[in-house]
């Protein structure tokens, strides 16, 4: 079933700077306290897309007002974009529910509110969650030269934004007005880890190394999709000193099924394929196009991302397991997507 979607833009303020793109899942995953932890770490412009069908839009609108009222960093740096299916439009008739709440009560509401997608099984069955559309809309709302696209619940290492800005300045990565010289297509890869739910998220690489040694942190999706991150060479990265300057540690060759998280130049990085819904592989099309466009992948020495809680096989839904395990179906759909973008069979073989 093909669905049309519409985005309602909520631009409050956006500073021209480096940006963290934070596309989110359903509203309960989007408007919760992980925003607070992430925004304090990033401390810079953020572009957030929210999937809000039906009455979710009313709650989202109220929640955005509450977040901006209670957390100055979000008021200063974060822009929001509401996305909903055209046949399940935003219903704004139930706004105003946060009007007289304290910040403590707003926090409680954000932690306990359920999405209409969680309470209406028929609606959830009929709507495919548009991961890549949300990512693209968030990226379009970022008026910056570089961006970092992350998934729900991910938090960057401390000072990642200013460290990367200084690294880019020293290495002449920023474009100058009127400068039309060809720029290198480079993706700066951030190793990404899962941290046990009861453990404080690490701020520095040294802290992360300690968690890994104590078996309180592991590679992202180690249990559910071990090959998705393998090419990053985590053994090499975690063994390297935490005292080195921020910069490139080593290059990584493209590998099939690799889905890293990275900072890259916004205008030259391919968009996400909005027709690609497959669980766990919805970002793979973009990585393939980057490979074909001669992007190089370089792992940063000190920067990283962390996600709270271990993703285990038992937590996957039946549909997620089916799609993950059905390689024949996945490859067939991936080949069709590549063909749609004008890539040849030879290019597909590279991916």
pLDDT in tens, 15-74: 333 345 444 322 223 334 445 677 778 878 888 888 888 888 898 899 888 888 888 888
Cα separation of 132 and 9, whole Å? 17
Indicate if 192 and 334 belong to the same structural domain.
yes
Give kind and range of the element (H or E) at residue 296. strand 296-300
| 59 falls within a domain | yes
| 287 falls within a domain | yes
Beta bridge mates, 193: 219, 306
| 168 falls within a domain | no
Indicate if 185 and 244 belong to the same structural domain.
yes
User: Residues 136-171, buried b or exposed e (16+ Cβ, 10 A)?
Assistant: bbbbbbbebbbbbbbbbbbbbbbbbbebbbebbeee
How many C-beta neighbours within 10 Å does residue 243 have? Answer: 8
Q: Which two tokens stand for residue 123?
A: 């609606």
**Predicted pLDDT at 157:** 95
| 157 falls within a domain | no
Indicate if 131 and 199 belong to the same structural domain.
no
Indicate if 234 and 296 belong to the same structural domain.
yes
Q: pTM for the whole thing?
A: 0.85
Indicate if 207 and 260 belong to the same structural domain.
yes
**Predicted pLDDT at 273:** 82
Beta bridge mates, 221: none
**Residue range of the domain that includes 99:** 1-144
Indicate if 140 and 181 belong to the same structural domain.
no
* CA angle, 291 then 275 then 38, to 5°: 70
How many C-beta neighbours within 10 Å does residue 1 have? Answer: 5
Q: Which two tokens stand for residue 82?
A: 């509401």
Which pLDDT tens digit goes with each residue over 70-120?
888 888 888 888 888 888 888 899 998 888 899 999 888 887 877 666 666
Indicate if 196 and 138 belong to the same structural domain.
no
Q: What residues have CB less than 8 Å from 6, skipping those under 6 apart?
A: 83, 84, 85, 86, 89
The number of domains in the chain is 2
What's the gap between Cα 53 and its chain centre?
20
């Amino acid at each position: 079933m093909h669905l049309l979607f519409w985005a309602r833009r909520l631009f409050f303020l956006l500073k021209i700077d480096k940006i963290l793109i934070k596309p989110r899942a359903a509203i309960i995953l989007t408007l919760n306290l992980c925003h607070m932890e992430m925004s304090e770490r990033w401390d810079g412009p953020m572009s957030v897309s929210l999937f809000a069908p039906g009455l979710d839009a009313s709650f989202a609108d109220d929640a955005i007002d509450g977040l901006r009222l209670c957390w100055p960093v979000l008021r200063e740096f974060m822009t929001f974009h509401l996305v909903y299916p055209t046949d399940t439009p935003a219903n704004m008739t139930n706004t105003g529910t946060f009007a007289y709440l304290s910040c403590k009560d707003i926090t409680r509401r954000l932690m306990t509110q359920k999405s209409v997608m969680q309470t209406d099984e028929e609606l959830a069955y009929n709507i495919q969650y548009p991961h890549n559309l949300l990512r693209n809309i968030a990226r379009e709302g970022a008026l910056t030269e570089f961006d970092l696209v992350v998934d729900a619940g991910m938090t960057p290492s401390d000072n990642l934004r200013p460290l990367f800005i200084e690294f880019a300045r020293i290495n002449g990565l920023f474009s100058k007005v009127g400068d039309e010289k060809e720029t290198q297509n480079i993706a700066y890869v951030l190793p990404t880890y899962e941290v046990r739910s009861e453990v404080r998220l690490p701020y520095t690489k040294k802290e992360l190394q300690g968690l890994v040694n104590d078996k309180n942190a592991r590679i992202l999706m180690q249990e559910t999709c071990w090959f998705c991150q393998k090419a990053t060479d985590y053994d090499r990265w975690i063994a390297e000193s935490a005292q080195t300057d921020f910069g490139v540690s080593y290059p990584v060759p493209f590998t099939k099924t690799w889905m890293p998280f990275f900072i890259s130049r916004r205008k030259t990085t391919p968009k996400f394929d909005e027709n690609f819904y497959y669980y766990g592989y919805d970002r793979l099309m973009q990585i393939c196009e980057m490979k074909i466009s001669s992007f190089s992948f370089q792992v940063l020495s000190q920067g990283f991302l962390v996600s709270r809680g271990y993703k285990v096989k038992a937590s996957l839904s039946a549909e997620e397991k089916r799609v993950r395990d059905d390689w024949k179906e996945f490859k067939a759909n991936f080949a069709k997507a590549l063909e749609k973008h004008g890539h040849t069979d030879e290019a597909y073989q590279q991916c």
